[in-house]
Structure formats: C-alpha cells, structure tokens
A = this chain, B = another copy of it.
Amino acid sequence: MSEVAATGISVLLVDDHPIVRQGYRRVLESQGDLHVVAEADNAADAYGAFKTHDPDVVVMDISMPGASGLEAIRNIRARNPRARILVFTMHNEAVLVKAAFSAGASGFVTKSSAPSAVVNAIRSIARGERAMSDDIAHVLAEDSLSPAGSALDQLGEREIEILQQFAGGATTEEIAAHLNLSVKTVQNYHYLIKTKTGARTDAQLVRLAATCGLTRI
C-alpha cells in the first residue's frame, strides 16, 4: 500500500487491439499516478506479463480471440490471489458481469463509460475495493430484482464461456483447444446449453447469445 502511494499504480493493459491499447496507455499515463508497465493482446501473454511485472492492477478486455478472458482471470488469480483485475469491455450483460466477478475480477467497467470512470475504478481496486461503472450497477440491480431472470442466468460460468465462443463462430475443436477441454466435453456443454436455454437449433442459440449481449453481430 505505502509502496503504491509512493510510486503510483502500475498497470498491465490487456486488449487485442493495438491502437486501443495505445489510446488507453496515453489516457492512463496522463493521470500522473498511473503507469502502464506492460501490455498484452491475448490471454496467454497476459498471464506471462503478469508473472514478470506483478502489476498493481490488470486492466483487461475479456472479449479476445482465442483463449477466454475469464480463463485468464482465473489463471492470474490462481497464481496470486491478491491480484487486482479490472474488466474493461463493451459487454454489459448481467451474466457476464457475474461470471467475471466470480472468476475473481475486482471491477467491471464498460467502454461506454466516461474516461474518468475507468481511472477512478483503477484507483479504487488498487485500494482493495470493488468497483463498477454506473451502467453495470444498474444492470446488476435490474437483474437482482427480476424474479424470472434471463434465459442465460441458469447457465454456469463454463457454459456461458462456451456459448460465447460458439456464438462467435468457433468450431467445437477450436473451443476445446482454447479452453483445454476434450472435444467430448464441449459437445456435452453444447447439448446442455441447448436444453437449458430451450434452444432447439444452433441458430437460436446464436440469436439468444446475441440478444443477451454475449456476442456482437
């Protein structure tokens, strides 16, 4: 803590778009107390960079090609349970937010937030607090009030993850490779997700994922 106060907050930036990273870096560093010590454009590199740099805060977009961002969060937290991770993404679906927090994230800010929201969130979670942007708070609030819940609420973390990749166009083999699962397990999840959500067709599954904000079309 005292170290943080003395030297500012070191940040690891994870996003798959170089220019976006470049922009974040400039925005954060113009604050004075925030220092981007490393960048990564995928989950594996993010884990590697975390090990080498041990940053105070990881700012991560969880919608990356290849391995899942949630998986990256779990990996980082497994190595260091005190790691602070701020999810910073365009998605604002309650299930995703819940999944991120239960995977070990300390904060969740959408990209439609004002720049100051991100900066404040970084400072908050560096102090060990939890942080989220206003729109996320509203989404969670709405979600907790609705008794029925979205069709996706009955899905577990893993199921959400697999649905997201599937709806994004990944094949069963690709998903298995990304998540280090057997093809058989992914097939079983595929089936389970369909029965749980009531989708009778892959196309219906994609539409569901899209309307719930799990994937962009």
Chain A interface (Cβ < 8 Å from any Cβ of B): 16-20, 22-27, 30, 63, 90, 111-115, 118, 166-171, 200-207, 210-211, 216-217
Give the CA-CA distance A91 to B167 in the complex, in Å.
15
A172 to B144, alpha carbons, bound, how many Å? 28
CA of A165 to CA of B158 in the docked complex: distance in angstroms? 30
Secondary structure of the A side of the interface? Answer: helix
Determine how close the nearest CB of chain B comes to the CB of A49; give it in whole angstroms: 18
A20 interface neighbour in B111, B169, B206, Cβ under 8 Å: B111
* Contact of A18 (CB < 8 Å), options: B19, B25, B114: B114
CA distance A199 to B24 in the complex (A): 34
CA distance A18 to B202 in the complex (A): 30
User: Which of chain B's residues has its CB closest to A15's CB?
Assistant: B111
Set of chain B residues within 8 Å of A201, measured between Cβ atoms:
166, 169-171, 202
The distance in angstroms between the C-alpha atoms of A90 and B111, with both chains bound, is 14
Note all chain B residues with C-beta closer than 8 A to A24: 19, 23
Contact among B20, B25, B203, B217 with A202 in the assembled complex (CB-CB below 8 Å)? B203
Whether A27 pairs with B26 at a CB distance below 8 angstroms is yes
Q: How far is the CA of A207 from the CA of B203 in the complex (A)?
A: 9
In the bound complex, residues from chain B placing their C-beta under 8 Å from that of A20 are 20, 23, 111
Bound: A187/B112 CA distance, A? 31
Contacts of A16 in B (CB 8 A): 112
Q: Which residues on B sit within 8 Å (CB–CB) of A25?
A: 23
* Contact between chains at B204 and A19 (CB < 8 Å): no
CB pair B90 A17 closer than 8 Å: yes
